[in-house]
A and B are shown apart, each in its own frame.
Chain A
Amino acid sequence: MHATLPAHRPSLTGFLPVWQRNFLVWRKLALPSILGNLADPLIYMLGLGYGLGAMLPTIEGQPYVAFLAAGTVCASTMNAATFEALYSAFSRMHVQKTWDAILNTPLGLADVVAGELFWAATKSLFSGAAILVVITAMGLTNGPLMLWALPAIVLTGLAFAALGLIWNALAPSYDFFMYYFTLFITPMTLISGVFFPTDQLPAWLATIGGWLPLAQGVALVRPLLAGQVPADALIHVMALVATAAVAFAIALHLTRRRLLK
């Protein structure tokens, strides 16, 4: 026989203590965490940007390193949110049983999963913003319009946090997350215009890439960093919001099935 729990009382602030818990842990390790998040993408960006860029003509009217910088902001945002929603959330849910402890309090599973969603998005904001600061200092951005990249980073982070939480709800072990990267994240990074313009791709592949959430983020961030208003901004924003909302609902449903059975 199948029995389901009633949907729990909606609360707008229920996620906050869960978010605060994760923030308190992060604060203890903030400096190494930021440096770790910053070093890897910057090394790639500088190495490829200047090394490879020296052999390339300008791309879409900007030097290759500036083109790549915008892609790096988005890819780092995606990676930060994804790692948090997979490995870190899984540790708290499955290994440390932190979620079980929280579920014994008046908070419900929606509060816990929402807390994780917003926390992973926060981590991605730290990561994306740190790179933004560095590339601005290097003169790779153009004008105050680039500040609008911050909300675009948050939306990209929310979308990937929610997608990651779906995979987290299904994961039997850490090994399972490898598939998410090799089947989804890595191919997406290559066809979403992070490293090169998608018109280099076969048309059908470029079309698929254009639909993926990373491409939505890139389509917002790259023009903003170059000092331009993105074309079709509203569509990209709506696509990221919809991805986050739908993925969150699926993740919550699957997590409920996993923990409250």
Chain B
Amino acid sequence: MAALDVRDLRKAYGDQEVVAGLSFAVDSGTCFGLLGPNGAGKTTTLRLCLGLTAPVSGNIALNGHPIPAEAQQARARVGVVPQFDNLDPDFSCAENLLVFGRYFGMTDADIRSRIPQLLDFAGLGSKGDARIATLSGGMKRRLTLARALVNDPDIVFLDEPTTGLDPQARHLIWDRLKQLKSAGKTLILTTHFMDEAERLCDSLIVIDHGRKITEGSPRALIAEHIEPQVVEVFDEARGQLPLFVERHRLLCERVETSGETAFFYCRDPRPLLAALAEADGLRYVHRASNLEDVFIKLTGRELRD
């Protein structure tokens, strides 16, 4: 049984269709990524899947329950890490977990027996009595993750779990999410950090304007959509770049220019690298292509607000 199954989902606000016929399925025990630029409909899709807003049409089954009809039963086996922390500022870390567990109908004894392991998991073992205001951004995020696990859910929704965190805090969250997956949980996350999706997700979809534009595993998507090698060439403020691009664009399969940088997408970068060794006033980086290249190719370079 799929942990989450979404068919032909539509949602509109006024005349604007924010989810426009979305279908996807998430296998149990996998990590699934919902990717897209700002305003693509990611958070609305999550809210629809949790039964927090009604679709115009379409079918959703979460853990076997039709949504929104049986959303409350489904949510009993689900944990949610929202995009913005909404921990209770009046409570300590342990009290936050206790109060949240009660919303699931758990007894105080049940919750209290889980609190030490939840705090340990979040790396907050010594912070049980600490007030929320004294925690760093990373600690708050980890506590929010621990809170989402208080009911020992089968499925965990994470809406941009590492936005705003420093690299250390981000790596720690990634590590914990991998542990959860090893423990058999299904993870469903939205992110616009492509390295995050590449590390964590078994499969993902990219959506834009409420529509799915591609789906697959990160590796398969890179292989399908993009040349394996990328050379990024930067103009060192001498205006050499346009001419260089003009002369050498045929050395590569595809070239994109964005401001002072040209992106050469190649199968074989050697001729281009040789040309660059001769060139004056240009700096370059040669790297393997990644999910971000796929994302930019599919959703464009222009800014989304």
Contacts and interface: CB of A to CB of B under 8 A. Distances in A.
Interface of A: 1, 3-6, 8-9, 17-18, 20-21, 24-25, 28, 96-98, 100-108, 260-261
A105 B51 contact: no
A104 B102 contact: no
Interface of A is mostly: loop
B82 A100 contact: yes
A104 to B, nearest CB: 4
A167 B275 CA distance: 70
Contact of A5 (B53, B84, B90): B53
Contact of A261 (B53, B100, B151): B53
B52 A105 contact: no
Contact of B86 (A3, A101, A107): A101
Contacts of A97: 82, 84, 86
A8 B50 CA distance: 13
B86 A100 contact: yes
A1 B14 CA distance: 7
A8 B69 CA distance: 8
Interface in B36-81: 50-56, 68-69, 71-73, 75-76, 78, 80
A18 B104 CA distance: 11
Nearest to A99: B86
Nearest to A21: B99
Given A6-B54, A101-B82, A105-B75, 8 more contacts: A18-B103, A21-B88, A98-B88, A100-B86, A102-B103, A104-B78, A105-B76, A106-B104
Interface string B1-31: 0000000000111000000000000000000
A259 B54 CA distance: 12
B242 to A, nearest CB: 49
Interface residues of B, number: 35
B105 interface: yes
B99 A17 contact: yes
A108 B104 CA distance: 11
A28 B100 contact: no
Given A5-B51, A106-B76, A96 B103 contact: no
Interface in B74-130: 75-76, 78, 80, 82, 84, 86-91, 95, 99-100, 102-105
Contacts of A261: 13, 53
Contacts of A18: 103
Contacts of B103: 17-18, 102, 105-107
B54 A104 contact: no
Contacts of B87: 101
B102 A17 contact: yes
5 contacts: A5-B68, A97-B84, A98-B86, A101-B88, A103-B52
A105 B71 CA distance: 10
A105 B73 CA distance: 9
Nearest to B72: A106
B151 to A, nearest CB: 8
Nearest to B88: A98
Contact of B88 (A8, A96, A108): A96
Nearest to A17: B102
A204 to B, nearest CB: 45
Of B71, B84, B91, B95, most buried by chain A (CB within 10 Å of CB) is B71
A4 B55 CA distance: 8
Contacts of B89: 96
A105 B89 CA distance: 19
Interface string B224-241: 000000000000000000
B86 A106 contact: no
Contact of A3 (B52, B56, B71, B76): B56
A19 to B, nearest CB: 10
A139 B78 CA distance: 57
A4 B54 CA distance: 5
A59 B149 CA distance: 62
A18 B103 CA distance: 7
B68 A6 contact: yes
A260 B72 CA distance: 14
B72 A8 contact: yes
Nearest to B86: A97
A20 B102 CA distance: 9
A79 to B, nearest CB: 22
B159 to A, nearest CB: 10
Contact of A108 (B72, B80, B84, B99): B72
